[in-house]
Amino acid sequence: LNQPASRGHVDILQLLLNHGASVNTVNNMGDTPLHDAAYRGHVDILQLLLNHGASVNTVDYKGPTPLHYAASRGHVDILQLLLNHGASVNAVDNYGHTPLLYAAYNGRVDILQLLLNLGASVNTVNKNAASEAASHGHVDILQLLLNHGASVNTVDYEGATPLHEAASQGHVDILQLLLNHGASVNTVDYEGATPLHEAASQGHVDILQLLLNHGASVNTVDYEGATPLHEAASQGHVDILQLLLNHGASVNTVDYEGATPLHEAASQGHVDILQLLLNHGASVNTVDYEGATPLHEAASQGHVDILQLLLNHAQLILAIFARN
């Protein structure tokens, strides 16, 4: 039955059902014909299967119901038909994802509105709809969720808020919307990272500036002791580094391994980052907890240009001390 249900062959399906085919048979993925019809958007097939007693809340091996598939694909008529036949609006798959989350992920505004009107929960655990909308840049979806009571500071299974997601993906409009609704700018995920860490790591200057304008802490540390400056230095984002330094980022801060941003730049071979840090007073001789200086890091990774720059800087410092 799965093949004709998927391909929309009503006559074939009717013939098979008339000859005793099981309406709730499953394929090797656990999908029933109702799953296939819902995914493909075949209303007539769906109605025929329901008329023959198809189970509306059946799940495949990953947990989605036919309603999940209809929400994901944006089939409003299929969704309405399933709901009319008792489909659970808050059904969760094996990962805790609801049809609302599937709709948010795929930007299905009409589906989302219909589900919300029927009482879909906006603040589910694990991965939530607001975080999905924020991550994928769906402003209209996010606005709709917030209007229906979605928590602006809700966290997913990694402890990330929608603001973390927007900062990581570089969605300025999403970030502004969340901030306008009172999102906490210095909230941390389960690794201790703030949205500022995310923006610094990914190189989103406009996001970083907006967060700083709203009071983001420039020297906040994650659970490894890394600051946003460490992230920018490691990833080689010169403009991010300059902006953080302009806002008072500590150039010689050490993480929980004793490494400074200069260690990160030396290890990764970012000459321009290294020069900028040195210009702002970075210590060339800081030793981490394994006894390594930035010079050791450069030598270990074979970065000759970094090595030369550090040696030249050290000689300059020695010459200045000698003159004094």
Q: How far apart are CA 197 and CA 201, in angstroms?
A: 6
Amino acid letter for position 165: E
The beta-carbon contacts of 205-212 under 8 Å, at least 24 apart in sequence, are: 205/239, 205/240, 205/243, 206/170, 206/172, 207/166, 207/167, 207/170, 207/172, 207/175, 208/240, 208/243, 208/244, 209/243, 210/172, 210/175, 210/176, 210/179, 211/167, 211/175, 211/185, 212/243, 212/247
The half-sphere exposure of 30 on its side-chain side, counting CA atoms within 13 A, is: 11
Looking at residue 4, its pLDDT comes to 86
**0.75 exceeded by the pTM?**
yes
Provide, rounded to the nearest whole percent, the portion of the chain with pLDDT above 70.
Answer: 96
Domains and CATH numbers, the chain: 1-121 (1.25.40.20), 122-217 (1.25.40.20)
Looking at residue 320, its pLDDT comes to 53
User: Binning pLDDT at 50, 70 and 90, where does residue 318 land?
Assistant: low
93-135 confidence digits (pLDDT tens): 998 899 999 999 999 999 999 999 999 988 876 678 999 999 9
Looking at residue 317, its pLDDT comes to 54
Looking at residue 324, its pLDDT comes to 54
244-261 confidence digits (pLDDT tens): 999 999 999 999 999 999
Looking at residue 123, its pLDDT comes to 81
3-state secondary structure of 54: coil
Looking at residue 316, its pLDDT comes to 52
Of 22-26, 178-182, 246-250, 272-276, the poorest mean pLDDT is in 22-26
